[in-house]
Amino acid sequence: MRRYAVLLAVVVTLLILLSILAKQAKSQANNASPIVSYTTADLKEFILYKDDPINIERTRIATEIYRAEKLRGKWGGQCVIFARRFLGRAEIKGTARNIKTNSSEPIVGALIKFETGALDHVGVILYVREDSIYYIDSNGNEDEIIQTRWADKTDKNILGYKNFEN
């Protein structure tokens, strides 16, 4: 009898783990970008330079990408609230629809604004390549979960960018 109870507990635990893994796989499948982890090989490009003023920007980018990767999959709330907290900028408020863009060029640390319907959507730009933008957002799948994603610079849903003066 005791063996059956232990076996049942093991089976239930495995089912719970499979359920969690299935949710994670579904979440990653909904992300339109390829699955990329910047916590390993790609971050080697951004060697952290503590005292080299020329490479301070590369260090900041690497730090923000690492921070973003650690937040992926956690609860972040609505996109504007998440962006305000992530960037530590009190002036980011209201709804994404109310955020005014001020640039047609993406830069690291700016907001990226998308047209998504009635309220629009914003994320925080982490890295910019020649043809794509890597950003972090929350609630992009209407689930208030933090994701990192790639967007093509020619994506017709991008309304613009909100750059901040330091």
Q: Is residue 120 over pLDDT 70?
A: yes
CB 151 within 8 A of CB 132: yes
Q: What pLDDT was estimated at residue 60?
A: 81
Computed over every residue of the chain, the mean pLDDT equals 81
Burial class of residue 127 in the structure, from the number of CB atoms within 10 Å of its CB (0-12 exposed, 13-18 middle, 19+ buried) = buried
Question: Tokens in use for 121?
Answer: 């959507």
| Residues paired with 145 in a beta bridge | 75
pTM greater than 0.75: no
> Which pLDDT does position 157 carry in this prediction?
96
For 77-87, the pLDDT digits (tens) are 999 999 999 99
Contact (Cβ atoms closer than 8 angstroms) between residue 146 and residue 137:
yes
Of the pLDDT bands very low, low, confident and very high (cuts 50, 70, 90), residue 130 is: very high
Predicted pLDDT at 39: 47
Residue 121: the pLDDT is 97
Architecture of domain 33-162: Alpha-Beta Complex (3.90)
Q: What is the pLDDT of residues 4-61, one digit of tens each?
A: 666 666 666 766 766 666 666 555 444 444 444 444 445 545 555 556 666 777 778 8
Would you kindly state where each structural domain of the chain is located, as residue ranges? 33-162
